[in-house]
Structure 1
Amino acid sequence: MELRQLQYFVKVAKKEHVTQAAEELHVAQSAVSRQIHQLEQELGVDLFMQKGRNLHLTAVGQLFCSRVETILKDLDRAVNEVHEFIDPEQGEIRLGFPHSLGVHVIPSVVAEFRKLYPNVKFRFKQGMYPTLIRDVVSAEVDLAFISPFPENHNQVAGNVVLTEDLVAILPPGHPLANEQSIKLNQLKDDKFILFSKGYSLRPIVWHACLEAGFTPKIAFEGEETDTIRGLVAAGMGVSLLPEVALFQSFTLQPARVRISTPKVTRTIGLIHRADDKLPLVAQSFRIFLLEYFGLQPDTPPS
C-alpha cells in the first residue's frame, strides 16, 4: 500500500468523481483509476460504488476513509514538525476566526507577529461558533479565536483574551443618533437587523433585549457585519455590533451610540485542542497573542 494510493483515494472520496479528483491532483484520470483499483485489490473490497456519474463510498469505504484521513493528517503534522525542528520560523500556522474579527483584529495581530517572524506562513479559516469548535477538535486548525469563549468544553482549552462592548448602531437620521449613550429599551419600538441563526452575536443581542424588557422585532437577518452595518446606515433598522467590527470606513455609515443599560458585552477566546501539543510555531504564536492582549502566558499545553 502506497502513500499515493491513499492520497488519491481520499481525493476521490471527497470529489465523488475520478475526473475532478484527477484535475485537482494534476495527474491523468487513468493514473487515479489505476491506483484506486490496485488499492481495492490489495484490500480485497470495493471502496466505491457507482451512482449515476458519481462515485460513492461503500460502508467499508467510509470506515477506511475516516481512518486514512486521520493517518494523512498525522503524517502532515509529522512533516511540519520536522521542518519546524530544522527552522521553527519557517512553519505554517492554521488559524480559525469569526468573520467579525477579520476586519481589524486578525490583520493587526498577524502583521505584528510577522514583524518578529517574517517567514511564517498563515492559513486562515473563517467560520461560525460550532464550525470553529469542530475545526479545532478535528485538527483542521491549530488555534481559533472564538466568541463567546466556551467555558465548559472537554475537547478544547484556552483563554479569554478580550471582553468588548457592543454598541447600538442607528441610521444617521434616527432620533437617538446624536446621543452619547442610551438605554437599550429606548429601541424597543425599532425594527432590528440581526445575524442569522447560528451566529454567536445573535443570542447576545436577543438576550440583551429580553433583559431590557422587550422582544426585538426583526426586519432583516444577515451573515456579515458589513451587510448589517450597510442596512442600518440605509435606514432599514437598528442593530448592536462590537466596536471592533466598525473600524472600516465606508461612504454610508451608521451612527454608533453606547448602551448604558444593560451592559452588553461579548467574550473573545483563543482556543486549542485540549491535551494536545501544539506545533512549535503555533505555540510561539499563542504565547505572542496572550502577551499582545495583556495576559500572562501559562504553561504550554502538553
Structure 2
Amino acid sequence: MDNDNHDLAKLLPALPMLVELGASRHVTATAEALGIPQSTVSRTLARAAEVVGTPLVLRKGRGVELTPAALALIPRAAEALEAIREGLAQAREESGQQFGRIQVAFQHTFGEVALPILIRAFAQNHPGVTFDLQQGSRAFCLDLLATGSADLALVAPPPAPSRTIGSEVLYSEPLKLVVSSGHQLFGSSGVRLDAVRDEPFIMLEPGYGMHSIVESLCQRAGFRPRVAFQGQDLHTVRGLVSAGLGIAVAPPEKFVAQAAPGGGLGWCEVEIIWPSAHRDVGLVWRNRADTSAQATRFRDMVLGEGRDLLGASQSSTGLGRDQRSAG
C-alpha cells in the first residue's frame, strides 16, 4: 500500500497534463493551456513514465505521439479528474458561499467609480469575501492575470478572447480633448483631431491602455502625435495640460476644472467630432478549471448585474454609454 501511494503521489500531477496532451498532441500547447512552463510538463511526464514503467510519449516531428500505455491511461485519468472536479466544486460550495478571497487587477482610472460600484454590489450578498486589489498599467494588469496573481482584470481595451483567457466589453466611454484654460480651444463645443496635429501631446507611458488608444486615434486622423511629456496617471497628464505644456486625449472627468481665479491652472474637455473617439472597458479572466468559486461568482455578477450598474452610472454622469445599447 505504501508503494502504491508513493507511485500515485508521483503520477497524480501528470494526470491533467496527460489529458490535455491527449487533446492537443503538443507539449507546448499543453503547457500554454495549463498555464505552466513547457519544461514542467516534460519533467512531470518523465516522472510519470517511471511510475508506469514505459514511455508515455514519443517525439514525432514538431509534436508528440502517445504510446499505447498513455492511450490506456488517459481515459481513466479524465474520469478521475472529473470526479475530483465534482468533489472540489461541492467543497467550494460548502466553504465558499460566504467566505473567500478574490484578486482583482485594474487600471488606475477605474479605481474611483467602476470598481467600487462592482465590489459594493457583490459585497451586499457576500459580506465575508475579501478583495486583494492591485492597480497599474494595462500591461501590468494582464501580466498579473497571466501569472495567476490575479483572478480577474478590469482594463481598457480588453484583449480578444483566446483559449487561455476570456473577456467581455462592459461599456464604452467617449474620449475628450483636454486643453488648458489659456488654449484657443478652451470652451469650444467640438474639434476635429487633425486640427491639433501640430501641437505637443501629453500621454501616458507605453504599456498603459490609453497610450495605444491615443496613438491609434491620431493615426486614424492622419498624423503621428508629437509627444512632449509622458506620465503614469491621468491626474498628472491633466495637471501638465493645465500648465499649458501641451494637450491630451483622455476619458472624461466627472468634475471638470475650469480656469482658476487670478490666472491659476485650469483645463477643460472638448468633444472630438472626428474621428469617432471612445474606448472599450472590459473584464478579463483566465480560462482555468481551478478558478475559485468566489472569483467565478464575482465574474458572473460583473457580466450580469454589474454591467447594468456600470451602464447606469455612465448614463447618469453623461460620460459613456452601455455597450449593449451602443449597436
Same-fold status (TM-score > 0.5): yes
Give the RMSD, CA atoms, in angstroms: 2.8
Q: Which residue of 2 aligns with 1:262?
A: 275
- Maintained 8 Å contact 1:185/1:212: yes
- Maintained 8 Å contact 2:96/2:294: no
Q: Which residue of 1 aligns with 2:242?
A: 233
Q: Give distance in 2, aligned partners of 1:233 and 1:148.
A: 26
Q: Give distance in 2, aligned partners of 1:80 and 1:218.
A: 51
Q: Does 1:162 align with 2:171?
A: yes
Alignment match of 2:308 (pick from 286, 294, 297): 294
1:268 aligned counterpart, secondary structure = strand
Q: Shift of the alpha carbon at 1:154?
A: 3.1
Q: Give distance in 2, aligned partners of 1:159 and 1:282.
A: 16
Matches within 5 A, 1:43-82: none
Q: Does 1:272 align with 2:285?
A: yes
Q: Give distance in 1, aligned partners of 2:206 and 2:167.
A: 25
Alignment match of 2:295 (pick from 282, 286, 294): 282
1:148 aligned counterpart, secondary structure = coil
- Maintained 8 Å contact 1:80/1:91: no
- Closer, same or farther: CA 79–141 of 1 in aligned 2, 3 Å: farther
Matches within 5 A, 1:10-29: none
Q: Give distance in 1, aligned partners of 2:237 and 2:293.
A: 39
Moved more, 124-133 or 173-182: 124-133
- Maintained 8 Å contact 1:166/1:242: yes
1:266 aligned counterpart, secondary structure = strand
Matches within 5 A, 1:69-218: 85-218=94-227
Q: Which runs of 5+ in 1 are unaligned?
A: 1-62, 68-77, 296-302
1:132 aligned counterpart, secondary structure = helix
1:150 aligned counterpart, secondary structure = coil
Q: Does 1:224 align with 2:237?
A: no
Q: Give distance in 2, aligned partners of 1:275 and 1:122.
A: 19
Q: Give distance in 1, aligned partners of 2:232 and 2:89.
A: 35
Q: Shift of the alpha carbon at 1:129?
A: 2.7
- Closer, same or farther: CA 90–229 of 1 in aligned 2, 3 Å: same
Give % identity. Answer: 28
Give the TM-score normalised by structure 1.
Answer: 0.65
Cα deviations across residues 63-96 of structure 1 (Å, max 9, x unaligned)? 8xxx9xxxxxxxxxx9999576324222111101
* Structure index of larger Rg: 2
- Maintained 8 Å contact 1:83/1:91: no
Q: Which amino acid aligns with 1:254?
A: W
- Closer, same or farther: CA 86–264 of 1 in aligned 2, 3 Å: same
- Closer, same or farther: CA 79–135 of 1 in aligned 2, 3 Å: farther
Q: Shift of the alpha carbon at 1:180?
A: 1.7
- Maintained 8 Å contact 2:105/2:135: yes
Cα deviations across residues 154-175 of structure 1 (Å, max 9, x unaligned)? 3211211122211111102211
Q: Give distance in 2, aligned partners of 1:80 and 1:106.
A: 27
- Maintained 8 Å contact 1:171/1:235: yes
Q: Which amino acid aligns with 1:279?
A: S
- Closer, same or farther: CA 134–276 of 1 in aligned 2, 3 Å: farther
- Maintained 8 Å contact 1:84/1:281: no
Give the TM-score normalised by structure 2.
Answer: 0.60
Q: Shift of the alpha carbon at 1:294?
A: 3.4
2:284 aligned counterpart, secondary structure = strand
Q: Give distance in 1, aligned partners of 2:89 and 2:189.
A: 52
- Maintained 8 Å contact 1:81/1:280: no
Moved more, 151-160 or 188-197: 151-160
Moved more, 158-167 or 271-280: 271-280
